A = this chain, B = another copy of it.
Amino acid sequence: MATGRNHRPATRSRGIPEATVARLPLYLRALTALSERSVPTVSSEELAAAAGVNSAKLRKDFSYLGSYGTRGVGYDVEYLVYQISRELGLTQDWPVVIVGIGNLGAALANYGGFASRGFRVAALIDADPAMAGKPVAGIAVQHTDELESIISDNGVSIGVIATPAGAAQQVCERLVAAGVTSILNFAPTVLSVPDGVDVRKVDLSIELQILAFHEQRKAGEEAEAAASRKGPDGDMPAVMPA
> Which of these, B52, B92, B202, contacts A202 with CB under 8 Å?
B202
Known contacts A3-B3, A108-B204; A196 and B209 CB within 8 A of each other: no
A209/B242 in contact, CB under 8 A: no
Complex copy number for this chain = 2
Q: Does A181 contact B (CB under 8 A)?
A: yes
User: For A29, A52, A108, A211, which residue has the most chain B Cβ atoms within 10 angstroms?
Assistant: A211
Within 8 A of B (CB), among A70-104: 86-94, 96, 102-104
Q: Does A114 contact B (CB under 8 A)?
A: yes
21 A–B pairs (Cβ distance < 8 Å), ordered by A: A1-B1, A1-B5, A2-B3, A2-B201, A3-B200, A4-B207, A21-B210, A26-B190, A26-B206, A29-B188, A88-B212, A93-B242, A103-B111, A104-B107, A108-B204, A117-B208, A119-B212, A160-B208, A183-B211, A184-B211, A195-B237
Q: How far is the CB of A180 from chain B (nearest CB, A)?
A: 10
A200/B204 in contact, CB under 8 A: no
Main secondary structure of the interface of A (DSSP, over half): mixed
